[in-house]
Chain A
């Protein structure tokens, strides 16, 4: 009889600990899930590139530098052994190159009027806005996880089981700096 109260307290504490542990696992999985939604969009963009390059080549062959950069980055992304930070850096570079390409388009009225190009541009805008939404979701999930790992008492459980804080997704510099591009993509 005398053990019931201490036993009850121990049980309650154990259940609380299990709850906190499970919530941290949930948050960590949410971060992974959000990351994979970024991945889906990046893959879509990746698949669109050959088509984009071909179309632009037809009308704007002079823009060799930008086109070559895009081809190079795409080839780089195909390598399987990239670390995730390297990959994200390359994807960010790709974003800025695509933006640069979009700006040079202004000089080629034929390209701008091409139905094929317009279609590609719409697809790219769509992907970029989905990508931006995915990044924001990822950052919100990271915030949620990091809050859990810093706040008391879940920080204790986090430390005990070796949970690690995740880094936020930085907006690519090109998107921050270039107002024109932002207006085009950030809607």
Chain B
């Protein structure tokens, strides 16, 4: 993706500032190591020498851990800095119709109204993109939805982790149609299984719907091809539902979307890669041809 001169100047100025912050953090880290490691050593000797109790052992570990804690705090503040100071202004320039909020995600109600997965008991996500692309209103973000499995506090099972997109569907829907990737998600449904003509689609997906005709109205031969292509493009497992005038696309993929490796050198290329990734996600709307509005719903 080629950026304009204006965007390039924003990126260059910000990369400069980021590098300065990184150096500052690295310096801080070095100082912390210089102080904390000898201090932890001295504490350890004292614990042995004076035969001190449990609390002091904890203190030794804590002092020893300070540099690592500091490193991880610095890392996350750099990630935030990249998103806030680099991505938001760059996107504002190149995709003015899209709002990016790094800390928010697609609301849980939307996730639940897709009816693709079980109701999660713990739900989080980040990197919310929303706006209008062509004629289609959409929002997408990373989502991690989990379900509590036992009575213990930390027993959670992941229901879904990946990219979740909600968009306004271009045809009127009165019924519900679900597309599950084969070998993933719900293996049965309250609805009837619909068999479609495309053999590749049939081997990749299972379709359920409460109305066979509407399922085929939604899943036209070209829509089937597009869903196959989308799954390949993202190297992900694809789940989709068409209900309540919306299309919900869930791409299960452990890859951390829209994130830069802040430990490596931040270059223009890195930002270009992230923007390209966002562009591919917005491209789902083109891929599914949601902007073609030749039906009664405009």
Contact = CB atoms under 8 A, between A and B. Distances in A.
Contacts of B267: none
A187 B296 contact: no
B247 to A, nearest CB: 14
Interface in B171-202: 171, 194-197
A118 B196 CA distance: 32
Contacts of A37: 213
Interface string B211-237: 011111100111000000000000000
A137 B212 contact: yes
Contact of B294 (A34, A122, A133, A140): A122
A137 B294 contact: no
Secondary structure of the A contact surface, majority rule: helix
B294 A130 contact: no
A140 B196 CA distance: 8
B213 A140 contact: no
A137 B222 contact: no
Contacts of B158: none
Contacts of B295: 122, 125-126, 129
A96 interface: no
User: Which among A37, A132, A137 has the greatest number of chain B C-beta atoms within 10 A?
Assistant: A137
B68 interface: no
Contact of B197 (A123, A136, A187): A136
Contacts of A139: 197
Interface residues of B, number: 20
B292 A137 contact: no
B296 A122 contact: yes
A134 interface: yes
Contact of B221 (A122, A126, A186): A186
Contacts of A126: 171, 295-296
Given A125-B295, A140-B195, A186-B222, A133 B289 contact: no
A134 B220 contact: no
Contacts of B289: 187
A12 interface: no
Nearest to A143: B195
A184 interface: yes
A98 to B, nearest CB: 14
A129 B217 contact: yes
A126 B174 CA distance: 14
A119 to B, nearest CB: 8
Nearest to B219: A133
Interface string B282-298: 00000001001011101
Interface of A: 34, 37, 121-123, 125-126, 129-130, 132-134, 136-137, 139-140, 184, 186-187
Given A133-B214, A137-B216, A186-B220, 19 more contacts: A34-B212, A125-B295, A126-B295, A126-B296, A129-B171, A133-B217, A133-B220, A134-B213, A136-B196, A136-B197, A136-B216, A137-B212, A140-B194, A140-B196, A140-B197, A140-B212, A184-B294, A187-B220, A187-B222
